[in-house]
Structure formats: structure tokens, C-alpha cells
Amino acid sequence: MLSRDDLRAAAQLFTARSYAKDAIVATEGDRLEYFNFILSGRVQGFWRDEEGHQLKLGIDEPGMHFPDQALTGEPTLVSHVAISDMRLASIRREDLMRLLERHPQIAVVMLMSVVARLRRMIARARMLTMDDVYGRVVKLLLAGAGDGGQVSERLTHAEIGQRIGATREMVGRVLRDLARGGYIEADGGRITILKKLPSHW
């Protein structure tokens, strides 16, 4: 554990930054001087192609950090947008490296976080390459559903498509079929799973 003096010294290396909802926090290809820890709010990674199509990636929440490429000084691989008002604690890469050398226990915690993110990315890549659109929609709904079957986020067909790499029309077709079959109920963007979803359609 860090002593109070160590914590005070470490705190002086950080700069507080605030971003409004929808602000672009990082752009793919940029070399960022700062490594960011999220104090409040949420940020979402995404890729955008030359035609403007987006593929939304994972959401980072308070206690998490980004972008991992700032640790090596390489260009960031993912753009990030604030999906709520947010506050960051930012530290220069050089200062972070010195902090990790002095306190390797911090490096261990960060490494575990990076590995967890890698596992999520591999699972997502597996879903995008091996599942059909129906399977991707079902996995997204199940991942977001609470005990009562209600998906916690209000999601449009376009937002679902951006997360699973499918068109709005394809997503709409799957959801309409599930609703007609009595498997889900959709009301104003709020989706509730009513009974076990078929593994295939």
C-alpha cells in the first residue's frame, strides 16, 4: 500500500479534466501525451470508417482507464466519446512510468485491468466473426438484461447495430420477429425479455 506521503506526491502528478457529454476525448491515430483515469462519468470507444459508419466498442466507467496505447507512446487504436458528463485524472506518460517504477503494486493492478479489457475485446471479436446477426442481437440483449428481463439501457435499432456490426434494418427485423414470437416486448426503446430466447432463429 502507498503511504499518505506517497499518495500526496502521486496526486500532484495528475491534472483534472472535465468533458461534456458527446465530447470527443480521443481520436484514433492520435499520439496522446496523457493516460486517463475516469473519476466520474462514462466514455465509449468506437471505430468509424471513411463512410461514417460506426462500430461501438466497450464502455469504460469510473475507476477504469484509457487509452492503453498511451503506456507505450503509440497512436491510439480507438476513438473515445464521452457518453455522459465526465471528469478525468490525467497523467503524462513519463510521470506514470516513474510512478509505476516506484510503486510496482500499482502496475500489477493496471495489468489486471488491461488483461480484463483484452478478454472483453477477444469475446467481442469472436462474436462479430462467428455469430450471425440474430446471435449478436441475442447476446447483446442477454448481457444487458437484469433479473426481471429488462435491458438496462434504452437502445434504438441504430445503436444496437453500431454495437454489433449490423444495419438498423437487420436489427429491426430480428427484434420484430422476437416480438411477434412473444419473446420480447419493446416499448419506447426499452426492451424486456419475456421468456428464454431461442439459440437459433
User: How many whole angstroms separate alpha carbon 94 and alpha carbon 182?
Assistant: 56
Q: Buried (b) or exposed (e) across 119-130, using 16+ Cβ within 10 A?
A: eeeeebeebeee
Q: What is the pLDDT of residue 86?
A: 96
User: How many whole angstroms separate alpha carbon 125 and alpha carbon 123?
Assistant: 6
**What's the CATH number where 170 sits?**
1.10.10.10
Domain co-membership, 120 together with 169: no
Q: What is the pLDDT of residue 15?
A: 92
Locate cell 468509424: which residue? 48
Domain co-membership, 84 together with 144: no
- Residues forming a β-bridge with 186: 191
Q: What is the pLDDT of residue 52?
A: 78
Residue by residue, pLDDT tens for the chain (201 residues) are 556 766 677 788 999 999 999 999 999 999 888 999 999 999 999 988 888 788 888 889 998 889 888 888 889 989 999 999 999 999 999 999 998 888 888 888 888 888 888 888 888 788 777 789 999 999 999 988 988 899 988 888 988 998 888 888 999 999 999 999 999 998 877 899 999 998 877
The residue among 128, 159, 174 that closes a domain is 128
The domain total for the chain is: 2
Q: What is the pLDDT of residue 157?
A: 92
The whole domain housing 114 covers 4-128
Q: What is the pLDDT of residue 2?
A: 53
Calculate helix-pair angle for 157-164, 168-180, nearest 10 degrees. Answer: 110
Q: What is the pLDDT of residue 7?
A: 66
Q: Do 93 and 35 contact (CB within 8 A), yes or no?
A: yes
Sign of CA dihedral 168, 157, 163, 22: positive
Q: Buried (b) or exposed (e) across 38-49, using 16+ Cβ within 10 A?
A: beebbbbbbeee
Domain co-membership, 111 together with 157: no
Domain co-membership, 107 together with 15: yes
Q: What is the pLDDT of residue 6?
A: 65
Domain co-membership, 98 together with 138: no
**Phi, psi (deg, nearest 5) at residue 75:** -60, 145
Q: Do 82 and 19 contact (CB within 8 A), yes or no?
A: yes
